[in-house]
Structures are given as structure tokens and as C-alpha cells.
Amino acid sequence: MYRSCPLCEATCGVAIELDGNKVVSVRGDDADPFSKGYICPKGTALADLHEDPDRLRRPMRREGSTWTEMAWEEAFDLVGTKLNNIRRAYGRDSIAVYQGNPTAHNLGLLTYGQLLLRSLGTKNIYSATSLDQLPHMLAALQMFGNQLLMPVPDLDRTDLMICLGANPLASNGSIMTAPDMRARLKAIRDRGGQVIVLDPRRTETAEKADRHLFIRPGTDAVFLLAMANAIFADGVPPTRVPLTGVDELRTAASTWTPERAAPITGIAAADIRELARKLASTPRAVLYGRIGVCTQEFGGLAAWLCYALNALTGHLDEPGGLMFTTPAVDPVPLAAMLGFDGGFARWKSRVSGKPEFGGELPMTALAEEIETPGNGEEKIQIRALITSAGNPVLSAPGGPRLEKAFGTLDFMVSIDPYLNETTRLANVILPPTSVLERSHYDVALNAFAVRNVAKYSPPTFERSADTRHDWEICLALWRRVGLPNRLGPGAKLIEKLASSLGPEAVIDAGLRTGPYGMFRGGLSIAKLRKNPHGIDLGALEPRLPARLNTKDKRVHLAPAIYLADLARLDARMGRATQGLVLIGRRHLRSNNSWMHNSERLVKGPDRCTVMMHPTDAAARSLTDGAVARVSTKTGAIELSVEVTDTMMPGVVSVPHGWGHTRKGSRLRVAESVPGVSVNDIVDPSLIDELSGTSALTGQPVEVRAK
């Protein structure tokens, strides 16, 4: 059997050998035109996840601390009744939704899940977006006219990749779908190009790069403004792409000379100038910024400047630069059809006035919206929560506060295969089928792939009669939460269509009406079934200005929201941060907390350690392997120290997703290697005030011997 691995953004093809109902082996599919046989260790663990005895198969209901199985229809009826009662009593906004990041890898949740969640009519929708890529999406909306129009590095043709706050050798790429990152980065160097990494840690990617420079966490916007300053000083190269706002960007960057930026960022002025010159003068070059750029106090500015510098230097929409894809299923119209609308700050959160983005509120607003009493119809407190594919108690800042808040809800339902640190607080868990039991098409990730590709994966195993797919669960709830009744006379037909079609029909329609489907023999699910290894649709091609959604069909280089935020940067950078600051880190064998329930993914030395530079460790009398207490004003955790000169002095690193110590979870392997949750100490009130994204990077911490 051949299929795509849905565990991370790389979308590798896997070949699965079966013996009846047992997986004998999982290996890379050599015939997959995109991944060409590559898989990472997570791919081989697909079978573990499918066969995991801790994975729930049937609905569970909690009474006190006792869980009992229940029948599907009974569970759907119970959830429908509870949600309808709460909505009737308190209003639509009393029901909140949280969606975890596996949603992006799940066809059922991306289609029927959105139909359910967006049609609840609540303003209280939350997701991992505000802990991750929101600033990139905001920049896409502001500059290109649609939040899904995020350009990706044309990795296979670039001769210079400047990589900022990203570690693709561990993450396998993000908003840059590209299997076998190691080979692709090596190929840049083999053809005489360069990879330059800026990061507060000498990461796995930095170790393989031509050059690594430490950058102080949270100062990326300053570094990028200084780059812009240097580029303007040297003279801006001509660009084919129509731009507005060049003069405004020049003015914005005018005070941020490399000399001013150097002591703030930790990068010498001469190095900033050299990087600026390289970017401007290399015909095929790209500046790529990712998670470290987004999740900080100035993530909005930094993400904007990443795109702006590529555009300014003529590397937007050009081969080897930052390019727009031509996906076989265009997510832009699909998202609009499913109610996933674009927009920013059209309303604010009730308690602390945080801005909405794409119809969602920032995660940092969720706990207070549950805790704070309402005040009449217009000011509704959250009373019920639906979580889907997420574990925010471990993955969102202020985990203990969220945990406490969830415990006060009138009702909570989780669509999730595990009894984890979050879902143990639910009243009902509705577990979907495993990754190997469902069909797959990477509708989201193909839109960010470094080549245009399409692949359909049929289920490896048929689901048994007493299990349900995500989309079936969402459809059942959609029917019961009353939405069909509100659709008017066409409701019955819509309901019938939704019930009989399924997500594959949505994708089939998207393929047939997409850019490769209009002609005889064009793409369809049937054609993809005949090509089980996937189809290569070619290298990325220039798409501008046609692809732009801006009214004037120009790239907006200097949107007003960013220019207005510069004063905040100016004021903040005038106050130096004293002491140590925190960053996260990613490991190749981990992506989501449930992956810690696979023996093969957690074996080996303890990975949940605090990394720190030898001088910082010595100053605190800490040695390698000692137990340290890491604290913020939010809390304290204790974990082993890893002394390493891969860390920038003044910066410590702790990974997230660990802390499998909460009573009542059922993750037996994870509980045997629990680690601690860094989100117990990450201060949820520290955010990028522009976008509402959590500032996970650059938080001040204290470290001392236990």
C-alpha cells in the first residue's frame, strides 16, 4: 500500500507492507516523485500510532473520574443536547472551539470539521494558529490580499537561503513543504550556493549550513529593518512585481542603521551589511523566516519584513526566491466556501480586547473568556468547549490556568483519539479513526509545497463498523447542533448532500475545477487513484500579479498596521532585557505530544532538558546533568541541564509538549518518560500586541540549581 505520511508538513510518500491486518513495515516510497524514498523516524512510527493500545476506539463518557464507553448515537445525542441547551440558555458565543495543529493534516477536519465549527456562529474560535504561523498569515492578508497566499522558498532552484528562526532539519520544513530537507539544503551547497542560518541556537540546520550567526531572541524585526536600511543605502534593485509602499518602507527603515541594530540583535553591523548585499545581489536568493520569527513580541513586524525584503530585492515570485504555488486544489476558494473568512481586528475579545484574525481569537484570550462572568446578552462567558485534535494544557502558554478554567466549564467535548492532559477534563470524548484508516489528500500542505504535486491516499485499513471518521463525527454533530434547521428550505438537500458525499467528493470537485482539472484527462480522485505514488505537476511558476487578491493587483510593501507598530518596537528596544531569555526547540522525533506515546519516538537520552551556554551554567554553578529550577513570574519547573556552546550566551532552550504527569491521562509510554511542561511557566500575557500571537520566544527566565 502506498500513501502520504500525514504527521508533519513534509507529506512524504510511504510504502506500507501488510500481513493481513498487521503492519509489517513502513518505509519510504522510492517511486513518490516528491519525496523519492525519504522518510524520517516519525514515518516509521505510523504503525505504532495505529496499533497503540491507548488509542480510543469508541466514545467515552466521564462521571467524576470514571470513564465508561458509550454507543456512538447515544454520544452524539448527548453532546447535541448539552450544546443546544447551553446555546439556548446563554447564546452562541457561550460555546467555544479549540482546534489543534493536526487539523491542517486531516482531510476530514479541514472540510467537515470547518463546516461544523464555523457554522456554530460563535466568536469564540481558537486554534494553534495564534501559537504559530498567524503573523505570516496576517502578512499574506495585508500584502497579498488573502491570508492563505503565503509564498514558499523555491528551495530547489535557490543559490542563497537565509534562514531566520527556523530549523528545517528538525521540523522537516514549515510553510515550506519539502521532503528530505537535508538533501535539498545540501543540494544548494553542492551547486555552489550558500545556506546561512540566524538563530539563538546553533541548530541541526545551522550545523549543516555555510554560516551561522547567533541572534538575540525577539530582535528579528530590528535585524530585518537594518537589512532594509542597508539595502536602501546600496540602491534597490529593479523588480518585475508591481509594488506599492517602497518609499514608506524606506522611511520606516531609515532610523534602523546596522550600527544601531548590532548591539540589540547581537549581529555585527558589518555582518548585517554583508547579508543585505548578498540577498540583494544574488540573482536566485530567498530569505525564509519561520516559528522563531512569528512567536515573539514583534512577530507581526518580523513576518511582514521577511516577505517585504524578498519583494524589495526582486526575490518574490521569481525562480529561486519566494514563490506562490499552483495547487491542484486551490484552498483559497475552498476555505471561503467552508466559511473560513479572511480579515483582521473586525472584532475584539470580550475581556481584554485582543484582535480577531480569520474569525479566530488568540489563544491567550481563552482562559480569561472562560473565567470572567458575562454581563448580559452582548457579553457572553464561555460555558462549553469543543476541542479537536489538540492538547492545549501542554501546548499553550499558561497550561495550568487553562486546565483550571476547563474544569469550571458546564460541558466539554473532545474529538480526539487519546485521553490526554486536556481531554481527561472533557465530559465526552469522540475518538476518530487512526491515520491509517482514513483517506488523505494534503489540501493545505500542497498549497505550500516547493513543487506543485498531488497525491491521494486511500485508507490502508477499512474502518470497522463501530468506529467513526473525523468527518462523520463532525457531520453527526453538525446535524444535532441545530444548524440544518437554520438553513431554510434547502436545508434537507444540503444535509443529504453533506451526508452522502464525504470529504473525497469535496476534493474531487476541487481537483476537477482546479488548474489541472479542466481538460480531458485532467486531475480527479480517479486519476490520482491510478497514480498511487502521486503526480508531479512541475516546478513553481511566477503567478503575479494574477494571483494577488489586492484590489489594485499590487504587492503592498508597507501596510499601515505595520508602520503604526514601529513606535512600539522603537520604545521596547530602548529597554534592554536583563538576564536569561527562553526559546523552544524542535526534535526530529517529535511533533505533537501524542507522539510521545510511541516507544520508538521517545527512546534514548532524556530530551526534555534545559540547554544553556557554559558561561551561563558556570555563573550559576550548574554542571551538565544537574537539575535546575527554571522559573518565570508564572511558575517554576525542574529539569536536567544540558551545558552546550550551541546556545547563545544569555539564552536557554526548553522543548514543549512534555509534562505527562497529570493524573487521569492514559498515555502509558508518555507517562514513563514524562518530562516537564514548559508551558507551565510560559507567561500567557506576553504577546505580540499587534497580531495577538503568543510571545513564546524571548520570555525572561531565571535558572538556578535546585
Assess contact for 26 and 36: CB atoms under 8 A: no
Q: Does 11 contact ligand SF4 by CB under 6 A?
A: yes
- Return d(Cα 155, Cα 179) in angstroms, integer: 11
The window from 1-9, 85-93, 135-143, 152-160 that contacts ligand SF4 (CB under 6 A) reads 1-9
Q: Does 205 contact ligand SF4 by CB under 6 A?
A: no
Burial of 36: CB neighbours in 10 Å, binned 0-12, 13-18, 19+: middle
Picking from 481, 468, 430, the residue whose alpha carbon sits closest to that of residue 61 is 430
> Judged by CB, which is closer to ligand SF4: 168, or 514?
168
> Judged by CB, which is closer to ligand SF4: 7, or 430?
7
The window from 40-48, 292-300, 560-568, 691-699 that contacts ligand SF4 (CB under 6 A) reads 40-48
Q: Does 382 contact ligand SF4 by CB under 6 A?
A: no
Q: Does 10 contact ligand SF4 by CB under 6 A?
A: yes
> Judged by CB, which is closer to ligand SF4: 43, or 292?
43
Q: By Cβ distance, which residue is nearest to ligand SF4? A: 43
> Judged by CB, which is closer to ligand SF4: 43, or 534?
43
- For ligand SF4, the binding residue among 12, 365, 428, 703 (CB under 6 A) is 12
- For ligand SF4, the binding residue among 3, 42, 315, 512 (CB under 6 A) is 42
Assess contact for 612 and 652: CB atoms under 8 A: yes
**Which residue(s) pair with 501 in the sheet?**
none
> Judged by CB, which is closer to ligand SF4: 7, or 332?
7
Name the amino acid, one letter, at 622.
L
Inter-CA distances, 139 with 294, 313, 512, 518, 538, Å: 11, 17, 30, 32, 27
Q: Does 50 contact ligand SF4 by CB under 6 A?
A: no
Please give the full DSSP string across 118-134, using - where no structure is assigned. HTT--S-EEEGGGGTTH
**Centroid of chain to Cα 278:** 30
Tell me the per-residue interface mask from 531 to 570 with ligand SF4, x by CB under 6 A, - otherwise.
Answer: ----------------------------------------
Tell me the per-residue interface mask from 119 to 158 with ligand SF4, x by CB under 6 A, - otherwise.
Answer: ----------------------------------------
Nearest approach, Cβ of 437 to ligand SF4 (angstroms)?
A: 17
The x, y and z cell numbers of residue 451, run together, are 513543487
Largest CA distance in the chain: 73
> Judged by CB, which is closer to ligand SF4: 271, or 442?
442
> Judged by CB, which is closer to ligand SF4: 588, or 673?
588
Q: Does 178 contact ligand SF4 by CB under 6 A?
A: no
> Judged by CB, which is closer to ligand SF4: 411, or 456?
456
Q: Does 195 contact ligand SF4 by CB under 6 A?
A: no
> Judged by CB, which is closer to ligand SF4: 39, or 209?
39
Q: Does 321 contact ligand SF4 by CB under 6 A?
A: no
Nearest approach, Cβ of 179 to ligand SF4 (angstroms)?
A: 6
- For ligand SF4, the binding residue among 23, 32, 34, 43 (CB under 6 A) is 43
Sequence-distant (6+) residues with CB within 8 A of 202 are 212, 214, 645, 646, 647
The window from 7-15, 279-287, 377-385, 626-634 that contacts ligand SF4 (CB under 6 A) reads 7-15
Nearest approach, Cβ of 551 to ligand SF4 (angstroms)?
A: 38
**Centroid of chain to Cα 362:** 14
What element of type H or E holds 61? strand 60-63
- Return d(Cα 416, Cα 425) in angstroms, integer: 12
> Judged by CB, which is closer to ligand SF4: 94, or 591?
591
User: Positive or negative CA dihedral for 220, 223, 226, 231?
Assistant: negative
Q: Does 62 contact ligand SF4 by CB under 6 A?
A: no
> Judged by CB, which is closer to ligand SF4: 32, or 683?
32
Nearest approach, Cβ of 614 to ligand SF4 (angstroms)?
A: 33
Picking from 303, 291, 363, 214, the residue whose alpha carbon sits closest to that of residue 584 is 291
Q: Does 5 contact ligand SF4 by CB under 6 A?
A: yes
- Return d(Cα 689, Cα 646) in angstroms, integer: 31
> Judged by CB, which is closer to ligand SF4: 265, or 395?
395
Nearest approach, Cβ of 528 to ligand SF4 (angstroms)?
A: 18
> Judged by CB, which is closer to ligand SF4: 49, or 306?
49
The window from 38-46, 119-127, 535-543, 611-619 that contacts ligand SF4 (CB under 6 A) reads 38-46
Q: Does 39 contact ligand SF4 by CB under 6 A?
A: yes
**77 φ, ψ (degrees, to nearest 5):** -65, -45
> Judged by CB, which is closer to ligand SF4: 315, or 589?
589
Sequence-distant (6+) residues with CB within 8 A of 54 are 418, 419, 597, 666, 667, 668, 669
The x, y and z cell numbers of residue 220, run together, are 528579528
Q: Reply yes or no: is the peptide bond before residue 545 cis, omega within 30 of 0.
A: yes
Picking from 432, 363, 395, 387, the residue whose alpha carbon sits closest to that of residue 593 is 395
- Return d(Cα 288, Cα 314) in angstroms, integer: 14
- For ligand SF4, the binding residue among 7, 109, 176, 429 (CB under 6 A) is 7
Applying CB under 6 A, what is the total number of residues that bind ligand SF4? 12
- For ligand SF4, the binding residue among 153, 168, 179, 289 (CB under 6 A) is 179
- Return d(Cα 43, Cα 196) in angstroms, integer: 28
Assess contact for 588 and 41: CB atoms under 8 A: yes
Name the amino acid, one letter, at 81.
T
Nearest approach, Cβ of 172 to ligand SF4 (angstroms)?
A: 4
- For ligand SF4, the binding residue among 2, 3, 8, 312 (CB under 6 A) is 8
Nearest approach, Cβ of 459 to ligand SF4 (angstroms)?
A: 17
Picking from 71, 56, 113, the residue whose alpha carbon sits closest to that of residue 424 is 56
User: Positive or negative CA dihedral for 225, 229, 234, 239?
Assistant: positive
Helical ranges in 596-662 per DSSP H: 599-602, 614-619
Q: Where does this chain bind ligand SF4 (CB under 6 A)?
A: 5, 7-8, 10-12, 39-40, 42-43, 172, 179
